[in-house]
Amino acid sequence: MIVARPKSFEDIKKLIQNYKKVAVMGCGGCVTVRSIGGQKQAEELASLIRLWAKREGKEMVVTEVTLTRQCEPEFIDSIKERVGDWEVVVSLACGVGVQCLAERYPRVKVFPGVDTTFMGATIEAGLYWERCVGCGDCTVAETGGFCPVARCAKNMMNGPCGGSQGGRCEVSPETPCVWQLIYERMEELGIGEELDDIRPPKDWSVRPQSMVMEHLRVEKKTP
Amino acid sequence: MTGKNPQAVGAGFKPAPAIPVLTSGSHLEKLLREGRFVVTAELGPPRGAERAVVEKKANLLNGYVDAVNITDCQTSVVRMSSIASAQILLEMGLEPVVQMTCRDRNRIALQSDLLGAWALGMKNLLCLTGDHPKFGDHPGAKPVFDLDSIHLLHMLKTMREEKKMLSGTPLEGEPRFFLGAAENPFADPFAFRSRRLAKKITAGAEFIQTQIVYNVDKFARWMEEVREKGLHKRAFILAGVTPLKSAGMAKYMKKHVPGMDVPDTIISRLEQKKSKAEGMDICVEIIGKLRQIEGLSGIHIMAIEWEEVVAQLVERVGLLPRPVASSRQ
Domains of chain A: 2-117 (3.40.50.2300), 135-196 (no CATH)
Residues of B in contact with A164 (CB under 8 A): 187-189, 259
- Does B13 reside within a domain? no
Q: Rounded to an integer, what distance in angstroms lies between the CA atom of residue A33 and that of residue A2? A: 10
- Does B145 reside within a domain? yes
- pLDDT of B87: 98
- What does the pLDDT look like over B314-327, one tens digit per residue? 999 999 999 987 75
Please tell me the pTM assigned to this model: 0.92
List the 163-182 stretch of B: residues with Cβ below 8 A of A: 166, 182
Residues of A in contact with B187 (CB under 8 A): 160-165
CA distances from residue A87 to A63, A71, A97, A124, B138 in whole angstroms, order as listed: 11, 21, 18, 39, 39
Residues of A in contact with B201 (CB under 8 A): none
Which of A149, A158, A193 to probe the B interface (max B CBs under 10 A)? A158
- pLDDT of B21: 64
- Does B258 reside within a domain? yes
What Rg value do the Cα atoms of chain A yield, rounded?
A: 22
- Does B97 reside within a domain? yes
Residues of A in contact with B259 (CB under 8 A): 162-165, 170
Please name the residues in contact with A10: beta carbons below 8 A apart, sequence gap of 6 or more. none
Which of B9, B142, B196 to probe the A interface (max A CBs under 10 A)? B196
- What does the pLDDT look like over A93-113, one tens digit per residue? 999 999 999 999 999 999 999
- Does B17 reside within a domain? no
Structural domain harbouring B68: 27-316
ipTM of the complex, rounded to two decimals: 0.90
- Does B18 reside within a domain? no
Q: Rounded to an integer, what distance in angstroms lies between the CA atom of residue A62 and that of residue A85? A: 10
- pLDDT of B324: 84
- Mean pLDDT taken over chain A: 94
Q: Which residues of chain B have pLDDT under 50?
A: 1-12, 16-17, 328-329
Count of domains forming chain B:
1
- What does the pLDDT look like over A3-14, one tens digit per residue? 999 999 999 999
Please name the residues in contact with B107: beta carbons below 8 A apart, sequence gap of 6 or more. A201, B146, B147, B151, B155, B166
pLDDT band at A220 (very low <50, low <70, confident <90, very high): low
- pLDDT of B7: 42
A-side interface with B, Cβ within 8 Å?
136-138, 153-167, 170-171, 177, 180, 183-184, 195-205
Q: Rounded to an integer, what distance in angstroms lies between the CA atom of residue B39 and that of residue B64? A: 8
Q: Cβ separation of B145 and A155 shorter than 8 Å?
A: yes
pLDDT band at A204 (very low <50, low <70, confident <90, very high): confident
- What does the pLDDT look like over B46-102, one tens digit per residue? 999 999 999 999 999 999 999 999 999 999 999 999 999 999 999 999 999 999 999
Measure CB to CB from residue A180 to each of B143, B188, B258 and give the nearest one. B188
- What does the pLDDT look like over A207-216, one tens digit per residue? 888 888 888 8
Taking residues A187-191, what's their average pLDDT?
97
Q: Cβ separation of A163 and B259 shorter than 8 Å?
A: yes
What percent of chain A is predicted at pLDDT more than 90?
Answer: 85
Q: B54: domain CATH number?
A: 3.20.20.220
Residues of B in contact with A140 (CB under 8 A): none
- Does B4 reside within a domain? no
